[in-house]
Amino acid sequence: MPVTFPQTGELVLRRPARTLTPEEILSPAVQELIATMFETMHNAPGVGLAAPQIGVPLQLAVIVDRASYMEKLPPAHLAERDRAPVAPHVIINPNLIVNGPEEAEFFEGCLSLPGFTAVVRRALKVRVECLNERAEPVSIEAEGWYARILQHEIDHLRGTLYIDRMLTRSFMTRESYEKLWKDMPVADFLKAIGHV
């Protein structure tokens, strides 16, 4: 089934999504939605997809960070971001708790705002209390890039986009990022644009 991505400006991306009951989670409709979201995320490709990003205002997101996504990235890039593979999973009705004051700034992009990227400051460690696709309660401890993915997707469920949190001086086209900045440490990029 073809999926369209609502773009920035559409209300589904700006309104808080509603929670699901356990009965709804286990329903064939929501189980089919989850399968569609995983397929859509894989085809994009992406590391996370929230239901509002495909026009469905529910507190549901799917997440995966495949080892294959990291194969061509330099080890320094992976180390700087504290990035490692994350198995596919579902978060429903999540509650995000920041674990500690440490934060990091890195570039983010979004399927809801294609062709652009910007630096966003996020917590380095988080805990997420949520339900899984079987309506079971789960607690997720995450740090580094995985923590960033969770924060980005949970923001979508609250009607928030990365551009609401970005360092505005860093906003650019994806093309400019790939051509000029992708191989530079983020700290050096921030110095280059005069961000102290």
How many Å apart are CA 124 and CA 129, to the nearest integer? 17
* DSSP result, 133-149: TTS-EEEEEEEHHHHHH
Q: 133 is written with which tokens? A: 């696709």
For residue 131, the surrounding DSSP H or E stretch is strand 125-131
Separation between Cα atoms, residue 144 and residue 146, nearest integer Å: 6
* Residue 50 one-letter amino acid: A
Q: Rg (Cα) of the chain, in Å, rounded?
A: 17
Residues sharing a CB contact under 8 Å with residue 3, sequence separation 6 or more, in sequence order: 36, 40, 54
Helix (H, G, I), strand (E, B) or coil at 97: strand
Residue 136 is a catalytic residue: no
The catalytic residue among 32, 129, 153, 178 is 153
Distance CA 155, CA 44 (A): 19
The per-type count for the chain, helices as H runs and strands as E runs, is 6, 8
Residues taking part in catalysis: 153
